[in-house]
Amino acid sequence: MNKESVAEFIEPQETGPVSFPIITDEETYYFDRTPDLKEGQIIHYKQGVFSGEKRRRFLLLKSIAGLNFEFSLNETSYGDGVYQLSFKTKEYEYATTNLDPDTNNSLFSIIASFVKSVSESPEYNI
């Protein structure tokens, strides 16, 4: 997915912000450790791996219908600039829990806003 296709992927609805602020954490994290998340803020940090590489990670915590969703955009080992998107709830360790159509639209809007916020930040070159 490139910058042009992000906008076409799904237009943010009124239920979600157009962009989220991005806060950079300078510490390098290893294994499953992550920075503390704050509602509605994207945390950018680097994850160290066994090969000595450091990969970019972006995390967002957002409450939807009483569930705390963690969204992540992670640089992979498949090459420079290749990312994977995932999300789950803190409560259930999986992503969806029989959400109604309006709540699903909110979820999709937040995903689109998350990806758009990161992809439109020139300092990350995504």
Alpha-carbon gap, residue 120 to 25, rounded angstroms: 19
End-to-end CA distance of the chain, in Å? 10
> If pLDDT is split at 50, 70 and 90, which confidence band does 11 have?
very low
Calpha distance 90→75 (Å, rounded): 22
Model confidence, pTM: 0.79
Nearest-Å Rg of the Cα atoms of the chain is 14
The closest alpha carbon to 83, from 114, 56, 107, 62, belongs to 56
Q: Which residues contact 81 (CB under 8 A, 6 or more apart)?
A: 75, 125, 126
Contact 45, 60 (CB under 8 A): no
What pLDDT digit, counting tens, does each position of 39-56 carry? 999 999 888 887 778 888
pLDDT exceeds 50 at position 88: yes
Other CB atoms within a 10 A radius of the CB of residue 126 amount to 19
